[in-house]
Amino acid sequence: MSGTENLVLVAAVEAGGTTFRVAIGNRPGALRAQATIPTGRPGDTLAAVIDFLRGRGAEAVGIAAFGPIDLDPVSPGYGHLLATPKEGWEGTDVLGSLRDALGVPAAIDTDVGAAALAERRWGAARGLDDVVYLTVGTGIGGGVLIGGEIHHGCGHPEVGHIPVARRSDDRFAGCCPFHGACLEGMASGTALEARWGRPADELDDREDVWDLEAHYLAQAVEAVTYVVAPRRVVFGGEVLRRTGLIERIRARFRELLGGYAASAGVLGDPSDYVVGAGLGQDAGLLGAVALGLRAAGEG
């Protein structure tokens, strides 16, 4: 952590489909003036965010947002939301609205991409340049860092929609409206509730539930290991708070490798490769801080 982080104050915005979390700060333990604003109509929501942040001394703004987002800097739609299922938000210029109103440098990325950046800077992947961050909650998302930079490609990664191999005894059809039995359709919090009739936080005592969940999430780790070859895979989100789930994922992942991928450095100690988020539920908000620091030239 550089000393200059004490000099730049960031307006951090975690833009979610249900709420916007906002704060002023520059590192973990130094977030102040926090607020939670319900996600309503775009104009009203962004106006409330701006009203809260204006006049608080922010020198940059970072936005970690739900998507999909146009993240191509040369696109005329850069910083706008694309065809999101969040009613009324498609086409909203989130980046420009906040940047122009606050009059400071600004940066935007996906909430999971930003969380990956924060985990690299302060959390469970500190100092590692090649990292995958997976969050398992209502849906499943993934942020990929390559060489310390958030990977976008032709859009941005959609790890939640990778195909998975159904366990032979699993008859659940999957709940993804696009793909049915993709990773999100089989292992998200929404899938857990649809499959078992109860939300994840009421299923702690069901070993069969978490063995099956680990079967699918370990396939996500296997896929990103082969494709990205990260130094670490970090899991966040509400579902990963279940006791013992991360250990089950590690064990199943090791089985799936079958002794392969030794060069990736994952066979010796998977507890150092598949880990829980170090920043907990603040990974997204601190990701917005990290984006703002970058916009201000602070790394």
Do 132 and 263 reside in the same domain of the chain? Answer: yes
Above 60 in pLDDT, residue 1? no
Burial 163-188 (b: 16+ CB within 10 A, else e): ebeeeeeeebebbbeebebbbbbbbb
Do 151 and 84 reside in the same domain of the chain? Answer: no
Do 93 and 164 reside in the same domain of the chain? Answer: no
At residue 264, the pLDDT reads 52
CATH of the domain at 249: 3.30.420.40
Asked if residue 31 is part of any domain, the answer here is: yes
Asked if residue 119 is part of any domain, the answer here is: no
Asked if residue 255 is part of any domain, the answer here is: yes
Strand runs (DSSP E) across 139-261, as ranges?
140-146, 149-150, 232-236
Do 55 and 7 reside in the same domain of the chain? Answer: yes
Asked if residue 231 is part of any domain, the answer here is: yes
pLDDT (tens digit per residue) in 139-196? 899 999 999 999 998 888 889 999 999 999 999 999 998 899 999 999 999 999 999 9
Asked if residue 290 is part of any domain, the answer here is: yes
Do 208 and 253 reside in the same domain of the chain? Answer: yes
Do 131 and 259 reside in the same domain of the chain? Answer: yes
Among the ranges given (50-54, 151-155, 186-190, 200-204), the one the predictor scored with the smallest mean pLDDT: 151-155
pLDDT (tens digit per residue) in 78-96? 999 998 878 999 999 999 9
Do 147 and 108 reside in the same domain of the chain? Answer: no
Angle between helix axes 207-228 and 189-196 (nearest 10 degrees) is 150
Do 103 and 141 reside in the same domain of the chain? Answer: no
Do 91 and 148 reside in the same domain of the chain? Answer: no
Domain with 130 in it: 124-277
For residue 120, the tally of other CB atoms under 10 A from its CB is 26
> Model-level pTM greater than 0.75?
yes
What mean pLDDT comes out for the span 134-143? 93
Do 100 and 8 reside in the same domain of the chain? Answer: yes
Do 210 and 260 reside in the same domain of the chain? Answer: yes
Above 50 in pLDDT, residue 267? yes
Asked if residue 136 is part of any domain, the answer here is: yes
Of 194, 195, 287, 295, nearest in space to 234 by CA:
287
What mean pLDDT value characterizes the chain?
92
Asked if residue 196 is part of any domain, the answer here is: yes
Do 154 and 246 reside in the same domain of the chain? Answer: yes
At residue 107, the pLDDT reads 98
Domain count for the chain, please give it: 2
